[in-house]
Structure 1
């Protein structure tokens, strides 16, 4: 029998996230992911280690362990192993959501109690992952768009702090720091405008490198300490002693784990929207299992919970690199950085203002992706606009007034102090109340439902086409 002619072209993958790229491109794109997340990755160990009163050498162990575990977790999430992993371009890193709770535990009972609480809470998370994943049906575009927008908005203050020099530093607020962030941002914008293809997609990486090179003669970068310490080192097992299990710490960390799972599910849904691939409850369950398994094992080598990193969602959106193998390459880079502390010290020397200039683009693009999703929502004769308004408002509370929930019980404060989880809970509940609950449903339930009359297919207008474009393939089965 005859065979078709070989054109020499690689067939397009069935799913956009399965695209395979040349090794050099994978490494470059993966490194870009690492540089994007690095500042946020090392911050939680520094904060918690300081709260626990650890010595600088011990804090360095926390940082190295966090990098190593984040790399392994990213590989598991992107490539998958059996029932573990969403097999999407999702980067894993040490979760910010757990920082305040870990600081509280470490301040009272020490870091060993933090590790014990994480291990127990992580096991609980693995057990409930499958049930938790079925909640994906509660995330139609009006919900996902609101959550994605809040993810981007809630991350922008991090970029602003970086641009000012990094909170707590002696030069915080120096106009020179802001200028350096502006130089980095300008390089990214110029590269994005003047170049196409491979170079354009590396605009973030090029901007970070250029900003760092400018910072050296400016006196804003210090590489003097990169030669100190070991060149190669395996993360030691239980370097801080065996974990300690306290009931109160375990309860508090379990609540945090539920918050982390909510945020991870939102990130999985968000990346599905951006990539344009169906995300059903099975993929969400696999992602949550990987998330929780990584968090459970992390304390063995002295690391904290590793969850999906929202800032890297923005990188996928702005570069258009949807391949999960590019993210896996970034995971490999993180593993190497965790084994070779010298490399980690080089990356850690990147000035915070440089990261701030890049973060403005990255985090803003996440918010823009949410707005794009919300543009697909039908606002006529329903209360969807109220869902969006209240969800965004709730998500902004911790950003505008961080002390807002301080007077509430710890369990409430832990959940609502995260703008992402507050927006997710609000959007899901309001969507159920307004769109799913059939009792007392009316054709025109409120003045908020008022909207311009839509054109019929036969009488489209210049600003509203007769046939609307089909919705992008976000969540499988979402209405």
Structure 2
């Protein structure tokens, strides 16, 4: 009798009700991150309110398609992990620069042409880029995962203050109290609830936080009143793509940054869901990012990239099924096709998102610390790698204007603490563990050799580090 092999939690399907509610949690966690880039870019290049709303809907739609491609996969495309794709914020500054240098009415066509070329280039480079995975031992991945969480925490803090620094109530006591109340609600729910209700504690916390915001006047229903029932992102709504060399170079650099961040995110998620990512998985994930980026401009979207905040949601809920995130992708597609539904999600006030975000993003940082425990931090070289990576990576987080006087093209990389920290960690790991050969100092003749160093099979974190060198 042949016994059926157990299904890995990543590939396990859930009942429709659980799929929907867990998927909604992912949408709530990523919604602000998806609509923020088109909002900033649209306002920066002088689009009308109607056109900005169209851009936001298109971004939701294309983010949903990219997420479905990433989670369900087609052939060698898609990591098939609970991996959310959205609009990369790394491209905002370059896109604004492209828009300002373009002729009137040609900003978006120039941006879209550059994104298409960058996406195609990323797709071609994916099988070569993934070979860098051997340079990501626990000392590197732990540093990067920690930086992902630390880099996201200021976003949650900004949300808790109100999200818009120009608003009259930004950083008001009422905003911070609402964020604190949401945080407490989420923590209490996680402590008291069990089973499925505990897994959707974030979603329940967002709903209760929004209800608390109603008497405070923090919930804006204007978006619902002015939203259309049905809307489809017409292909090339803003004109045919234009291919300008300078714009293409800028967006190709952004694509490399996104590939670096996606590699770190895939490695982090693989550890969290207990399915460590190999080269093939990373290549498939990068292909999905790149293909999503190349196709998004056709439907008026922007460059697709991994959303680290959803990794925190997977870690805290322990719902590892990729079909849950696929459900989130389907919901995003519906939101893009139905602006009224999208505006309902937008009802969640920024302070409420901030309170929940502190838990989500803090969980990512904690996962990084957990990964670092697998590295041999008694090795002074490993300790130095962690110190330098965190120190350099935290610079743009604590001082947003630190690189303001640098070349704009360099700032694409430097302004991302995740990217700079990752590059520093990889470079130092190469220098200390892959370059040259080190021979241990000879022990004094009368030294007593402990049993632990008697030749034999090595296990545990030290062995993992030794194998990574």
| TMscore range, shorter length | over 0.9
Match of 1:312 among 307, 310, 313: 310
Kept after mapping to 2: 8 A contact 1:271/1:313: yes
1:124 corresponding residue in structure 2: 121
For structure 1, the residue ranges without an aligned partner over 5 or more in a row are 445-453, 459-467
1:465 corresponding residue in structure 2: none
2:157 corresponding residue in structure 1: 160
Matches within 5 A, 1:388-399: 388-399=386-397
1:56 corresponding residue in structure 2: 49
Match of 1:141 among 123, 138, 160: 138
Deviations along 1:15-61, one digit per CA (max 9) or x if unpaired, are 33112211111111111000011111110000000111000000011
Deviations along 1:134-159, one digit per CA (max 9) or x if unpaired, are 11111000000000000000000000
Kept after mapping to 1: 8 A contact 2:182/2:209: yes
Kept after mapping to 2: 8 A contact 1:156/1:363: yes
What is the Cα deviation at residue 400 of structure 1?
1.5
Question: d(CA) in 2 for partners of 1:143 and 1:26?
Answer: 34
What is the Cα deviation at residue 409 of structure 1?
2.5
2:445 corresponding residue in structure 1: none
What is the Cα deviation at residue 261 of structure 1?
0.5
Match of 1:95 among 88, 100, 103: 88
2:17 corresponding residue in structure 1: 24
Give the secondary structure class of the aligned counterpart of 1:428: helix
2:446 corresponding residue in structure 1: none
What is the Cα deviation at residue 337 of structure 1?
0.7
Give the secondary structure class of the aligned counterpart of 1:162: helix
Question: d(CA) in 2 for partners of 1:11 and 1:169?
Answer: 56
308-317 or 108-117: bigger deviation: 108-117
2:256 corresponding residue in structure 1: 258
Question: How many residue pairs were aligned?
Answer: 452
Calculate the TM-score normalised by the size of structure 2. 0.92
Give the secondary structure class of the aligned counterpart of 1:163: helix
What is the Cα deviation at residue 113 of structure 1?
1.1
Calculate the TM-score normalised by the size of structure 1. 0.90
For structure 2, the residue ranges without an aligned partner over 5 or more in a row are 442-448
Question: d(CA) in 1 for partners of 2:209 and 2:218?
Answer: 10
What is the Cα deviation at residue 178 of structure 1?
0.5
Matches within 5 A, 1:187-336: 187-336=185-334
**Which structure is higher in helix share?**
2
Question: d(CA) in 2 for partners of 1:334 and 1:77?
Answer: 14
Match of 1:38 among 21, 28, 31: 31
Q: CA separation of 1:478/1:434 partners in 2, compared to 1, >3 Å: closer, same or farther?
A: closer
Kept after mapping to 2: 8 A contact 1:12/1:19: no
Kept after mapping to 1: 8 A contact 2:180/2:355: yes
Match of 2:364 among 366, 373, 382: 366
Question: d(CA) in 2 for partners of 1:305 and 1:241?
Answer: 18
241-250 or 61-70: bigger deviation: 241-250
Deviations along 1:359-414, one digit per CA (max 9) or x if unpaired, are 00000000000000001111234410000000001110111122222222333221
Aligned-residue Cα RMSD (Å) equals 2.2
Question: d(CA) in 2 for partners of 1:292 and 1:55?
Answer: 29
Question: d(CA) in 1 for partners of 2:71 and 2:32?
Answer: 21
Give the secondary structure class of the aligned counterpart of 1:227: helix
Matches within 5 A, 1:405-416: 405-416=403-414
What is the Cα deviation at residue 124 of structure 1?
0.7
Deviations along 1:166-216, one digit per CA (max 9) or x if unpaired, are 123332111100001111111100001111211111111011000001101
Runs of 4+ displaced beyond 6 Å: 454-458
Q: CA separation of 1:270/1:455 partners in 2, compared to 1, >3 Å: closer, same or farther?
A: farther
Kept after mapping to 2: 8 A contact 1:259/1:415: yes
Deviations along 1:223-254, one digit per CA (max 9) or x if unpaired, are 13303232011111111111121111111111
Kept after mapping to 2: 8 A contact 1:237/1:302: yes
Whether 2:108 is the aligned partner of 1:115: answer no
Give the secondary structure class of the aligned counterpart of 1:98: helix
Kept after mapping to 2: 8 A contact 1:18/1:324: yes
Give the secondary structure class of the aligned counterpart of 1:307: strand
Kept after mapping to 1: 8 A contact 2:227/2:343: no
